[in-house]
Structure formats: structure tokens, C-alpha cells
Amino acid sequence: MIREAPARVSGGGTGAGRRGKADGRSATGVRSGRGVNDFALKIATVNGTGSASANGLIMKSIFRMGAPVSGKNVFPSNIQGLPTWYEIRINAQGHVARTPGFDVLVAMNGETYERDIAEVAEGGWLLYDSSWPLARELRREDVNHIGVPLAEMCVKRFEGSRIRILMKNIAYAGALAALLDIDLDVIRGLLEETFGARKRHLLEANNTAIDLGHNYVTERYDCPLPIRVARPAGDELSWEGRILMDGNTAAALGCIYAGATVASWYPITPSTSLVDAFGKFAGSMRKDPDSGRMRAAIIQAEDELAAAGMTVGAGWAGARAFTATSGPGISLMSEFVGLAYYAEVPSVFFDIQRVGPSTGMPTRTQQCDLLLCAYASHGDTRHICLYPGDPAECFDFAVRAFDVADRFQTPVFVVSDLDVGMNDWAVPPLQWDPAYGPDRGKIKSAEELDRMDRFFRYLDVDGDGIAWRTIPGEHPLGAHLTRGSGHTKYGTYTEDAEGYTEVVDRISEKIESSAPVLPEPVMESVPGAEMALVTVGGCEGAVREAMDRLGNSGLHFNYMRVRGFPFAESVREFLAEQKRVFVVEQNRDGQLRSLLTTETGVAGASLEPVLYYGGLPMSAVHVVDGVLARLGAGPAGSPAPARTGAVA
């Protein structure tokens, strides 16, 4: 029994371009339009109820239709019972960075109704479970209400409480398919792939639930809505042929392909899925076909201290080894990072950043470890960092990290974040060059040692700042005592100024010499532009979208995204050429800006921070508002930072 008779609403809505303050966006930051392949959708549910499957189903169906799309999972640090959201954005121009304010909202969590409903854009649509009436005070005059008795339909149709809860989610997916014109065949195909012949009963249940939702809204509402999904036609931008992958999965695959054999780790959100994926891939790709034994060791350590120590120990013994963690783990690992830096042990550290300081917000994203990773540990240290901007780069940079670590005999950080690491991104398929061979750097083999009279681990015989190393157990001549205490170029203990200085100076030059071989910055020069936007990591989408919008207002910018540290000379040159530079990043204190100022010698006053650090992925609105605030505030060097930390 449907308790609330829904009025038949016309989907005509309020037309494109109308935006008020209700959607949380400023006039300048607003998207260009709303319509076919241009809208944002948010689904509010309770975690632990199986809504992830339904959300993934919708996301992947849209993706398979070729429309440029992204999905952002906004989840709590909790196992069951707390609010969770999934946001999908479709944009024909390919601008799929997160955007605040939603055209369609699926409100499945009574606990968050009030705030969720407030996020619907004026003239937007609210899909809710009408098994219970929506409180009068929650209704908004400027929003179209679509009530679907999801719980009631599923209680009638299915037996058992668990399946009823699960299918309620699949039913809203069916309703959305009708409203947004998502191809039902694509949905059914995905369900078939997921459940197939093995779980026939689940396949049937899912298909039934899809029909329940689909049929209900088709019978009662004008479907599809004016905002809807369409397969890109003709010269429209299509993302067909891309893959949908998260950065942690891609990085794990990179570790497999790079030949990493030892992974040590301690569980921590949001890095856990990287090692989980490595384990899964290793299970199929690293099993010795004859013995069934593993060609990889995966060690769940007792803490991050031990995880780092195992990585360093394995690197010392000759393996390609890595650990994956997040900011709190890097804090603990810093002791070993310093040892590996000074003792010159190749090792790879993945930092999937989350909101700090301290425990911070474990399930929210930030770029707050840029300085920590660059200079981790006590003493004078400086580390090679790679900054992937999407999952494709996570794969590539994982492989490069091992090459660089081996070549420069030092710890290397792959600095990713929760948004890049855990959200599904539509990227071009990963590719592998069959000609690739690992760069193991300067290792003296047993045969070479056999022909030598003397070997000194830290002696720079080639004048390139990189000394030869040896693998333990290979040859007596290669033996030496590796230590974190003061040592000379001959590897002997020292407390002598000259002997100590000589080695640390060489290490400093060695690290500096890595800059030209690290991933080069992405740069784009716009004719006539005298200002630039500079960013790092997963902010690229938001910044490019902001550049488009600012360009429409006649404000043109050059663009640079740094991808490696130490910075290449080209980074300094780019900065020096600009009249004003806005450094866009996701932390409170402008860490990339600090790093650029410290490391390039470009005056800090000419680098102006544009920051968002509220924990959700960066949006174009943050960039546009931040830049306009700075431009309105006057010339470069004005003291007030453009901070939008509190704005979602």
C-alpha cells in the first residue's frame, strides 16, 4: 500500500542555468549547465547495508555507456550503521572533479535527510523512500519530489530481512535507471557478470529489484528526466575504451609489474586496499606453477615501525620491497626512512594521504604529508617523491619508484591520497612496454667482485655521487657493515668531521641529481597568459575545470602540475616566468607552496596559496573562488590566504 500518492510531476524542472545560494556554490563557481550528460547525483545511505553494490552498479552502467563520469565514495570511519554517501558526476566536457550541490539526490538515510535535502540544487530532484511519509518540514518548494516505496515493495517481494535490505538498494538503482535513462541492458549485463551461473538466485533477485524500481517510476513519472545519461554521439567526448580503476589497485599492479617481491605493511585506511590488491594479484600472478608456492612475501607487521624495518631489511638483502601506509604510518616510519637515506638502502613507501594531523579524519582526503615525505626523519634528509594524479599514474609511478629507488639507493615515496587511491577513476587502459627491464642500479655481481681487489660500499668511484652496492651473501669481498651511525666513504665508523661530511655531502648531491629522471611536470602555456595555476596530484581535474570557467570570464592562466621531487629545473623556470602564481592544494598551510619556495629560490611572495582542506576532493568552485578572492584582494603578496577549508 502506497501511503503517499505522489503527484505526477513534469520533469521540465526549472531550466538550465538557474542557481541560487541553496546549492552552496557562488555565482562564479557554478557549472555551465544542467542537462543531458551534465549533472551530479548523490546517494545517501547507511554503511554496511550493501548500498556500495547498488552505487557501483549505477556508476559502472553510466561508465559503460561511454559518458565521462566519476564516482566519489564519501564514507565514515565505521563498519556499520553510520551515514555514507556516493557521488556521481557526469560531464560531457570531461570535467568530472567533485562538485558540491546535486541535481539528483537519493535520500535513503532518515538520519541525514535534513542535510541531504538541503544539498539538492534548486529545481533538482529528490528521490526518497515513500514507504514512510516525508515530514512536511523536510519538503522543499523548489525541489521535485519522487517518492518510491522501496522498503514496502521489497518487503512484499522478498523473504528474509537481509535480502530485503540489500534489494531495497538495488531497487533505487532501478528507479534511477528509469529517471536517468540508463540502459537496462547494460545493467543486466553487469549483474550477469557479477552473479552469473554461480549465484543464480541472487541474479534473479537483483533483476527483480531493478524492475521494481524501474517500473514504479516509469508508471508514475515522466521518464526520463531532462537531466539524463546518453551515449556520446558523433563528435561528442566519449570515454568508451577507458577503464574504471582506483589508484591503490593500479599501484599494486605496478608493484607486481616492477618485480617487487617483499611487501610489509600495517593496516591503515586508506592504504590497506593497496596491499590487499597486491596480495590478490600475487595469488594469481606470483604462484610458482610447479610448486604452488609464492614468489612474493607479504608480511602483515606488528606496527608501521616494523613494516618500514622489514622493507628496509628486504631492500638491503637485494629484493624490491615496499610498504604502504598513510600519514600516521609515515610519522612512525620516519626513523627507518632516515636510516635508509643515510645507509643508502633502496626502499619504496606509498603514502596514501588522509586528513591529519594525528588520527584526523581517517576516511577523508587531503594532501597534508607533502612536507613530511620530502624531509621525513631527524637530521638533514631529503627524499625523492613522486606525485601521481590519477590511477594510471599510480601504476606508472609505482614502477618508476622501484627503478629510482634502486638507481639512487634511497627511500622513494609515492605520495598519493584517499581520493586518488580509493575512488574509481575512468582512465585510459594501463599499458606495459614489453621491452621494460628493471633498473637495479649499480650492483657489483659476484663475478665482478671476484676480479676486484678491494671494495668500499660508500666510495664514489664514478664521480656521479652513487657508490656501488653489493648483495649480502654473494661474495666475501662485497661484505660490509651497514650502519646508521657516522661512517666514512670506506664504510668504517667515524666521529670525524671530514669523514662524516664527505659522505653526507655526496648523498645530498646524489638526491639532487635524481631530479631530471623523475616524472617531468605537466605544463601548459596559454598564449598571452601571465599568471599560472600550479597544483599537485588529484587536483588536476578541479584546476582544469576552473581554468575553463575563469577563461570564460577572460582570465587566462598557464598551468603546471608537479609530479616529482626534487623539482626539475623546468619547475623553477616556469615559476620565474609568471607574474602571479596560484598554488592550489589540499592542506591548510600551503605545503606545496612552502616546498616550491624553499626549493626553487622563487620568492614566496609571488606564490599565492589557494587552499581547500575540508576532507572532500577538491572542486573547481574552490579554485575559482580562491583565485577570484586573491585577484580581488589586490596584487601578489597580500597576506590573507585564500582558504576555503570549511566549505564543502
Where in 243-262 is the site for another protein (CB under 8 A)? 243-245, 253, 256-259, 261-262
Near another protein by CB under 8 A: residue from 293, 378, 451, 454: 293
CA distance 597 to 599: 6
Strands (E), 493-556: 522-524, 531-536
CA distance 97 to 91: 9
Near another protein by CB under 8 A: residue from 1, 291, 463, 646: 291
Instruction: Specify the residue for cell string 592544494.
Output: 585
Contact 242, 384 (CB under 8 A): no
Contacts of 283 (CB under 8 A, 6+ apart): none
**Residue with smaller CB distance to another protein, 144 or 261:** 261
Which range binds another protein by CB under 8 A, 6-14, 23-31, 138-146, 283-291?
283-291
Shortest Cβ 272–another protein spacing (Å): 19
Instruction: Indicate the DSSP class of residue 515.
Output: G
Shortest Cβ 477–another protein spacing (Å): 8
CA within 13 Å, CB half, 510: 29
Which range binds another protein by CB under 8 A, 94-102, 131-139, 303-311, 510-518?
303-311
Shortest Cβ 24–another protein spacing (Å): 33
Shortest Cβ 299–another protein spacing (Å): 6
**Residue with smaller CB distance to another protein, 238 or 513:** 238
Residue type, 537: G
**Residue with smaller CB distance to another protein, 316 or 565:** 316
Which range binds another protein by CB under 8 A, 106-114, 296-304, 362-370, 637-645?
296-304
CA distance 278 to 395: 12
Contacts of 104 (CB under 8 A, 6+ apart): 39, 40, 41, 42, 120, 124, 125, 126, 127, 176, 179, 180, 225, 227
50 torsion bin: left (phi>0), alpha (psi -120 to 50), beta (else): left
**DSSP of 444-473:** --HHHHHT-S---TT--SSSSS---B--TT
- Within 419-438, the residues that bind another protein by CB under 8 A are 429-434, 436-438
Contact 326, 351 (CB under 8 A): yes
**Residue with smaller CB distance to another protein, 110 or 441:** 441
- Within 316-375, the residues that bind another protein by CB under 8 A are 316-319, 321, 335-336, 339
Cis ω for the linkage preceding 68 (within 30 of 0): no
The alpha helices in 21-88, defined as continuous H runs, are 51-64
CA distance 53 to 153: 19
**Residue with smaller CB distance to another protein, 262 or 607:** 262
Shortest Cβ 409–another protein spacing (Å): 15
Near another protein by CB under 8 A: residue from 22, 52, 165, 298: 298
**Residue with smaller CB distance to another protein, 28 or 482:** 482
Binding mask 123-152 for another protein (x = CB under 8 A): ------------------------------
Shortest Cβ 438–another protein spacing (Å): 6
Q: Burial code of 299-330, b = ≥16 C-beta within 10 A, e = fewer?
A: bebeebbbbbbbbbbbbbebbbbbbbbbbbbb
Binding mask 36-75 for another protein (x = CB under 8 A): ----------------------------x-----------
CA distance 226 to 248: 36
- Within 442-501, the residues that bind another protein by CB under 8 A are 470-476, 478-485, 488, 490, 492-496, 499
DSSP-derived 3-state class of residue 574:
helix
The separation between CA 342 and the C-alpha centre of its own chain, rounded to angstroms, equals 31
Decide: is 308 part of the binding site for another protein (CB under 8 A).
yes
**Residue with smaller CB distance to another protein, 50 or 254:** 254
Near another protein by CB under 8 A: residue from 56, 309, 328, 346: 309
43 torsion bin: left (phi>0), alpha (psi -120 to 50), beta (else): beta
**Residue with smaller CB distance to another protein, 315 or 564:** 315
Contact 409, 345 (CB under 8 A): yes
**Residue with smaller CB distance to another protein, 200 or 432:** 432
Shortest Cβ 307–another protein spacing (Å): 8
Which range binds another protein by CB under 8 A, 50-58, 114-122, 242-250, 531-539?
242-250
Contact 353, 420 (CB under 8 A): no
Shortest Cβ 301–another protein spacing (Å): 7
**Residue with smaller CB distance to another protein, 306 or 386:** 306
**Residue with smaller CB distance to another protein, 475 or 580:** 475
Which range binds another protein by CB under 8 A, 33-41, 310-318, 403-411, 605-613?
310-318
Decide: is 170 part of the binding site for another protein (CB under 8 A).
no
- Other C-beta atoms closer than 10 Å to the C-beta of 210 total 26
The separation between CA 390 and the C-alpha centre of its own chain, rounded to angstroms, equals 6
Binding mask 181-220 for another protein (x = CB under 8 A): ----------------------------------------
Q: Which three cell numbers stand for residue 534?
A: 600550479
Decide: is 232 part of the binding site for another protein (CB under 8 A).
no
Decide: is 527 part of the binding site for another protein (CB under 8 A).
no
Radius of gyration, CA atoms only, the chain: 27
Number of residues that bind another protein (CB under 8 A): 79
